[in-house]
Amino acid sequence: MKKHLLYLLLLSCAALSAQKNTQELIDELTLDEKIYFLIGTGMEVPGLPEDSKPAMAVVGATKNEVAGAAGTSYAVPRLAIPAVVFADGPAGIRISPQRDTNPGQTFYATAFPTASSLSSTWNTGLAAQVGEAFGIEGRDYGVDFLLAPALNIHRNPLGGRNFEYYSEDPVLGGMITAGFVNGVQATGLGATIKHFVANNSETNRTALNTVVSERALREIYLRGFKIALDHSDPWAVMSSYNKINGTYASENEELLTQLLREEWGYQGFVMTDWFAGTDAVAQVKAGNDLLMPGTGAQFKALKAAVEAGELDEAIIDRNLTAILNTYQKTFAFKGYEPSGITDLEGHKAIARQAATEGMVLLKNEKESLPLVTGRKVALFGSASYETIAGGTGSGDVNKAYSISVLEGLKAANVKLDEQLLSDYEIYMKAERAKIPPKALFFLKDELVPEKSFSAAELNKLAETNDVAVFTLGRTSGEFQDRAEADDFLLTETEKELLTNLKRAFSGPGKSLVVVLNIGGVIETEFLKETADAILLAWQPGQEGGNAIADVLTGTVNPSGKLPVTFPVQLADVASSKNFPGSVLDPDAEKPANPLQGVPSEEIYEEGIYVGYRYFDSFEVPVSYPFGYGLSYTSFAYADLKVTETAEGVQLQFSITNTGKTAGKEIAQVYVAAPQTGLEKPAKELKAFAKTDLLNPAESETVTLTINRGDLASYDDEAHAWILEAGDYTFNIAASVTDLKLQTTVNQPEKVLRKTKALLTPKVSIPVFSKN
């Protein structure tokens, strides 16, 4: 009864706080309360130094508001200000499935496909649908802010957190982000776009200086954020761990105030990444409103700065205004009572659809796929039995279950070799028992090594089976980047097994299908030589096994396309020369605190030539190009019509299903700018669209509009966006290398739009050039 009365009191207090405007609340806060409001309530992490521990707040700690949430704000009961809850979640709401306050009840969240998978759908409407499901679960479980989506660039295949990011291209990443944010916030949950900006590697990320040109920042790393802001209105932005040209992002006034707020007009608030930066006073002055998860040392530093006259209380009030203006929109401030029950059944269907649409068919020879009913399948690979739903760290999800490829194929009534399944069951159990549990949740998962087979054993299996399906698994997570050996590259065990499988299943009516259950790019040249079909399933969430079975059996026609280039070899990637940076002092000791790194520097010498912009412009062969993906049907493009306006160019064309199976197609528009003045990539993605499901012989008219301003390039020396005069070639394409229709539009005069000189490098950066 007492607990119920306390809840009613808090509920009424929240309703009262919502009736006061922001300035009224600020006027009633004491200085201590104001400072507490600029920091979170802390996070208990083993091994943290004393100054990283939570503040002992007189206004009341709230870190247990929602068990497993990443952080909370301080509540001020005397002013009816409730706690606001922040939860991780690029692939699903990350909270604990149990709560001490609700014994016997579970709070599992849906594990959706990872960001690389979602971006492979090229479907902004589906991204919004997924985002809406996130929002509903957050609302029902008591969360106010989702610490997602993340839209940093896939600069290098070894980026440990690439699975959380969308693409190597800012247009695709920005538009998928906008769709997702709009879906989340339609439910009343706040979205946080992160990590702002150029947080593209994990090695020493909290002590890494990113040295990058203004042009590369503007055209590549900032652009996705600008697109997301233009097409959605995220409640919060999270600044990144790294330095940008010598200044921490969270302490960078040029980035957070002059560019984000003054130039771009952003009205939300900015929070740090967890334990980011070193100077709380500099962060607050820079316009980093909220310091998360909050520490006692930050409180002391901020109060001392105010008392010493080094920090004007007006700056604190400015930051509080940004925070409270947004907090007023939250469930907590509106007095919403979370039900603790959500639509997990409905959301698993969305997760399954998103997973199937994000799968990319890379190869399909000998009519290997879809699997013909009645054909018998020999299922190989540890990841077939322990299929990887997602990456680790803050991008992980506490889910109720995860469907393996084995379970999915069984549910689809595929005939499987039972003896092989039994052998694997014994093997997987024994090998998993040898792997100790992780010491901390954010550490990388350890996968069961591949089971070895002799050539004789495989030949015998081929006598009684028609198809070998081998699932190859990779995982990654926070705090460490991937390795080239035995990660980007196949292991010797994998290569030997695949070689022998190819020999055994190469006869008439036999085939080898490889499923890639991976979070980031791997080497595929060897696979192309051995496999008859390759399906890139990514890390497809908790419904992964069912979704993979849907595509393998033809229940769903694959329609995903690559959001990133697959190189022939790692050395071909332009950034490999300097990824993930170099330690400034080779003799420096690594800190005991796992959240801290060694001071390092990473020079972005490739400039704007990231991903396909490099491969395409410098004519470097690739294994699979950006935007590529096969289907069980075929499509034709026709009837291009071009309409020019003062604002831009409208393209209209038709896509027809010319095959025998219903399917969806993704049309991409790449523009080649005149090669005068500034050097430019050969062509760049400017727009895209995904059709509805088209039946055989059915057509759809696609209309895409490209603003002239989006055709401009950034000039470092003039500190301006420049639209050169000349002919712009618009290529309607099925991938960056598969051009279907073309038109040329003339820009009669040069247009220049000046900006401030912001985030300028302090050193000269060698520049890649085609000349």
Per DSSP, the residues of 497-558 read HHHHHHHHT-STT-EEEEEEE-SS----HHHHHH-SEEEE--S--TTHHHHHHHHHTTSS--
pLDDT for the residue 478: 87
pLDDT for the residue 45: 63
pLDDT for the residue 51: 62
CATH class as words, domain 344-564: alpha beta
Rounded to two decimals, the pTM is 0.95
> Which ranges in the chain are annotated with CATH 2.60.40.10?
633-754
322-363 pLDDT, tens digit each: 999 999 999 999 999 999 999 999 999 999 999 999 999 999
Mean pLDDT in the chain?
93
**Residue carrying the six token digits 């050395």:** 571
Q: Are 144 and 14 in contact (CB under 8 A)?
A: no
Q: Are 519 and 476 in contact (CB under 8 A)?
A: yes
Name the β-bridge partners of 577. Answer: none
What confidence category does residue 11 fall into, taking pLDDT thresholds of 50, 70 and 90? very low
pLDDT for the residue 427: 98
What confidence category does residue 52 fall into, taking pLDDT thresholds of 50, 70 and 90? low
57 pLDDT more than 80: no
pLDDT for the residue 345: 97
Alpha-carbon span 141 to 143, nearest angstrom: 6
58 pLDDT more than 60: no
pLDDT for the residue 767: 80
Pairing state of beta strands 467-473 and 600-603?
Answer: unpaired
Q: First-to-last CA distance in the chain? A: 77
The residue among 446 and 263 whose pLDDT is bigger is 263
494-550 pLDDT, tens digit each: 999 999 999 999 999 999 999 999 999 999 999 999 999 999 999 999 999 999 999
Q: Which amino acid is at 445?
A: D
As given in the structure block, the two tokens for residue 65 are 């508001």
390 pLDDT more than 70: yes
CA triple 315-319-61, angle to 5 deg: 115
**Residue carrying the six token digits 């493009």:** 637
Q: Are 513 and 535 in contact (CB under 8 A)?
A: yes
**Could you tell me what percent of the chain has a pLDDT over 90?**
87
What confidence category does residue 297 fall into, taking pLDDT thresholds of 50, 70 and 90? very high
Give the containing element (helix H, strand E) for 177: helix 170-185
642-679 pLDDT, tens digit each: 999 989 999 999 999 999 999 999 999 999 999 999 99
What confidence category does residue 590 fall into, taking pLDDT thresholds of 50, 70 and 90? confident
242-292 pLDDT, tens digit each: 999 999 999 999 999 999 999 999 999 999 999 999 999 999 999 999 999
Q: Are 229 and 273 in contact (CB under 8 A)?
A: no
14-26 pLDDT, tens digit each: 444 445 789 999 9
5 pLDDT more than 60: no
Three-class secondary structure of residue 564 per DSSP: coil
pLDDT for the residue 385: 98
The residue among 168 and 44 whose pLDDT is bigger is 168
Q: What is the mean pLDDT of residues 440-465?
A: 91
**Could you tell me what percent of the chain has a pLDDT over 70?**
94
- CA quadruple 167, 168, 172, 178: dihedral positive or negative? positive
pLDDT for the residue 46: 57
CATH class as words, domain 633-754: mainly beta
pLDDT for the residue 55: 59
Q: For residue 678, which of 743, 726, 612, 616 has the smallest C-alpha distance? A: 726
Q: Which amino acid is at 439?
A: A
Residue partners of 358: CB distance under 8 A and separation at least 6: 113, 116, 117, 118, 119, 120, 121, 538, 540, 560
pLDDT for the residue 4: 40
13 pLDDT more than 70: no
As given in the structure block, the two tokens for residue 20 are 């006061």
pLDDT for the residue 1: 37
> Which ranges in the chain are annotated with CATH 3.40.50.1700?
344-564
What confidence category does residue 768 fall into, taking pLDDT thresholds of 50, 70 and 90? confident
As given in the structure block, the two tokens for residue 176 are 């998928």
Query: Which residues are part of the catalytic machinery?
Result: 273
What confidence category does residue 8 fall into, taking pLDDT thresholds of 50, 70 and 90? very low
What confidence category does residue 440 fall into, taking pLDDT thresholds of 50, 70 and 90? confident
pLDDT for the residue 42: 87
As given in the structure block, the two tokens for residue 555 are 């229940």
